[in-house]
Amino acid sequence: MEITGEQLEALVATLEDEAERDKLIQSLRGLVQARQAREAEQEQGAGGEILAALAAKTETLTRQLGQVGQVLSGLPVVADLILRQARDPAVRGLWAEVATKLVLILLAAFAAEWLLRLLLSRTRKAVESRQTETWLTRVVLLLARTVLDLLPILGFAGAAYGILALAEPRPVTRLVVLAIVNANVLVRIVMAFARLLLTPQAANLRLFPLTDETANYACIWTRRIASVAVYGYFLAEAALLLGLLPGAHAFLLRALGLVVATMIVVLLLQSRETVSEWLAGKPAPAGDGGSAPALRRRFADIWHVLAIVYVYAIYGVWALGVEGGFQFLARATVLTAIIVMAARLLTGGLRYFVERGFRLREDLKLRFPTLEERANRYLFVVHRVSKTVVNVLAALVLLQIWGLDIAGWLFSETGRVVAARLATILLIFAGAWVVWEVISSFVQRYLEAQDEAGGAKHLSARMRTLLPLFRNTVRVVLVVFVALTVLSELGINIAPLLAGAGVIGLAIGFGAQTLVKDVITGVFILLEETIAVGDVVTLGSNTGVVEGLTIRTVRLRDLTGTVHTVPFGDVTSVLNLTKDFSFAIIDVGVAYREDIDEVIEVLKQIGAEVQADETYGPLILEPLEVLGLDSFGDSSVNIRVRFKTLPIKQWMVRREFNRRMKRRFDELGIEIPFPHQTLYFGVDKEGQAPAARLRVYQEDTGTGRAASRPEAMDQTEQEIEAARPEADSGAPGRGP
């Protein structure tokens, strides 16, 4: 509101006038006091109202306890009065009349009931013994049996009321008889309806899946609670009519209610384990992820606590006479049951529609073989998320029903901020999940691609190595990004976290230089495609097949099966024996006396045979290349040839070529040299060698037996024979 100049002048005039100034100060002080009182009332709010109501109820209860004290203090006087009346013939006659008429009325009533029950027993047994299968038939039979149970009770009540009217008793007699008869009738009606629901003696008519033990146990406790509550209430009412003080009567009813509530609590505690097992449900089969959900199991563990609190809450509302308390509890209880059933139905409906939405058509299954597996992987997650959302919404509604102003809080400034941040967090999780699924699906589809024939499509070793690493890198980045964003949305300042991460990274960089070196070297080796999974490489002194690559190490398996893990930082040179293609190099050594050109032609023929073979031919990229006479050895001339083969197939081709070459050389008589031994007998001073008497032994090729040995040898022959090596006996040769 804008203040005008006239108002300012009037304020100045008031301040200059001492009397007016004092009035203004008094008015302002009154406004301050009124505002403070109003703020105090607002601060008191609902809590103050509750405390005031409790104070009033406590005062009423104190007054009733005072009246009970008066009754108890007057008990000696009452006892003395009873003794004096017992000695008075007139009073004794009065109570004798009451007792006599009460006994007669009850005997007549029980006789009428017994007669009706006897007349209806055959019909009742026929109804109970009938076997039924349909639920509707059971309901009809149970209703018929309940009518048969109620008829004797009505006969009891009718006989008692009729005889009471005919007897015209005194008022005291009438009150006592009515109290006992009404209590008996009401208890037995309650038990008739309990037998209707539980059917303890006729399991074939039972509507609910209860055992005989459970049904009889429930009936026993129903009778106990009903008897205490009904008989206690009618006796208290009769005592009030006979002159009991109102305060004592009210206290007696509250004590009776406490006894009934305690009996119900005892029943709940005795039934705790049975109900807990039923609420928790049966354990799931092996492999289905455990038993019942954790929330359901937790509720099964604490249900009795909630039930006890609920029982005593009902008693407290009744005992304190809270205005509208019963209406609130009844409405909240009914709405709670409705919300729980609606949440259960909604969860089942969502499960059905989610499973239907995740179901794939046959053409999609054929086009994307792994899509169904990936979809089913998240089916459980979607079920859990949808169920959690429904349960959370149901819990919020229940809190609102039970008096917590959840809606008001949600629409407040704080509630809107919290809801907005939760929505942002959910969107972040959803976005990260979508990005991960798109990238992971792309990588998976590329790695499992098939050719037109339906076989696995050939992929470069570089792609087979880098794509899984790329997928893992994306996963790490997404996790870090989502974690930092969620912390920021929760109000946590992530700047110190980032600064701390930077400092830690710097410290790690200085303290783990070898690790950093391994990682950087590994990145460049992978990007340059120096090695890939499946290659045969030599890294330093280690040679083997590359089984796996990480960002820091390479894992090799050698010919003996030993696994070598080599950090990239230790790799100074890489010898890749299977990069793009390979050469099977073969060095062939033949004797000096062999015709080299003839041997080369034989090698070309063998190479053509190997290339034409259906097993080894596809492994050879080019025909046999003869590099020529490569070197002169001690006992052989060496010819070098080679095959250009597919990567890692050179050893297989070389072994097959060697096998065929050995067989062909044996057929053609081409000598493959081997070490020989020469015997030197020495010379005399003139340079003349002494004559040596030698006898040559030759194998008899016809019989396979050696020629006969002479019976006598001179000393020289024996020395020569002793010096002859055993290997010479079977060694090939062309003369001595």
**Structural domain for 662, as ranges:** 582-668
pLDDT at 125 over 90: no
148 and 201: one domain? yes
In a domain, 594, yes or no: yes
- 3-class DSSP string for 181-197: HHHHHHHHHHHHHHHHH
In a domain, 434, yes or no: yes
607 and 661: one domain? yes
Average pLDDT of the segment spanning 207-217: 81
For 42-93, the pLDDT digits (tens) are 444 444 454 555 556 566 656 655 655 555 565 565 556 556 655 667 666 7
Residue 136 burial by Cβ neighbours in a 10 Å radius (0-12, 13-18, 19+): exposed
- Final residue before a domain boundary, out of 21, 36, 71: 71
Distance of CA 698 to the CA centre of its chain: 86
- DSSP letter string over 680-712? -----TTSPPPP-------B-TTTS-BPPPPS-
Global pTM reads 0.46
115 and 213: one domain? yes
132 and 103: one domain? yes
pLDDT at 255 over 80: yes
Share of residues in the chain with pLDDT > 70 (%):
73
pLDDT at 398 over 70: yes
402 and 467: one domain? no
pLDDT at 291 over 70: no
Q: Picking from 101-105, 320-324, 402-406, which range would have the lowest pLDDT averaged per residue?
A: 320-324
What pLDDT score was predicted for residue 55? Answer: 58
In a domain, 223, yes or no: yes
- Cβ distance 648 to 536 under 8 Å? yes
Place of tokens 């297989």: 652
For 293-351, the pLDDT digits (tens) are 666 777 788 888 888 888 888 888 777 776 666 677 778 888 888 888 888 888 878 77
Residue 532 burial by Cβ neighbours in a 10 Å radius (0-12, 13-18, 19+): buried
In a domain, 255, yes or no: no
499 and 529: one domain? no
Q: In 642-664, which positions are buried (b, 16+ CB within 10 angstroms) versus exposed (e)?
A: bbbbbbebbeebbebbeebbeee
For 665-707, the pLDDT digits (tens) are 999 989 888 776 767 777 777 777 766 666 666 655 555 444 4
Element holding 480 (H helix, E strand):
helix 461-489
What pLDDT score was predicted for residue 466? Answer: 72
Q: What is the CATH number of the domain that holds 461?
A: 1.10.287.1260
pLDDT at 285 over 50: no
Strand partners, 590: 637
End-to-end CA distance of the chain: give it in Å, rounded.
137
Q: Which residue has the higher pLDDT, 388 or 727?
A: 388
223 and 107: one domain? yes
Q: What is the CATH number of the domain that holds 557?
A: 2.30.30.60
206 and 179: one domain? yes
What pLDDT score was predicted for residue 573? Answer: 84
- Final residue before a domain boundary, out of 478, 511, 544: 511
Strand partners, 543: 538
567 and 596: one domain? no
119 and 218: one domain? yes
406 and 429: one domain? no
What pLDDT score was predicted for residue 604? Answer: 92
Q: How confident is the model at residue 283 (pLDDT cuts 50, 70, 90)?
A: low
Comparing CA positions, the residue from 227, 203, 225 lying closest to residue 216 is 203
What pLDDT score was predicted for residue 241? Answer: 73
- Top mean pLDDT of 24-28, 109-113, 389-393, 663-667 is at 663-667
- Final residue before a domain boundary, out of 411, 435, 469: 411
384 and 471: one domain? no
In a domain, 616, yes or no: yes
What pLDDT score was predicted for residue 371? Answer: 59
Euclidean distance between CA atoms 189 and 179, whole angstroms: 15
What pLDDT score was predicted for residue 713? Answer: 47
Residue 33 DSSP SS3: helix
Euclidean distance between CA atoms 635 and 519, whole angstroms: 52
Average pLDDT, the chain: 76
For 152-177, the pLDDT digits (tens) are 888 888 888 887 777 666 676 777 77
Q: Which residue has the higher pLDDT, 67 or 230?
A: 230
- Cβ distance 354 to 409 under 8 Å? no
In a domain, 284, yes or no: no
The strand pair at 536-539 and 563-567 is best described as unpaired
As for how many domains the chain has, the answer is 7
Euclidean distance between CA atoms 60 and 320, whole angstroms: 9
For 270-280, the pLDDT digits (tens) are 888 888 887 77
R_g of the chain, CA atoms, integer Å: 54
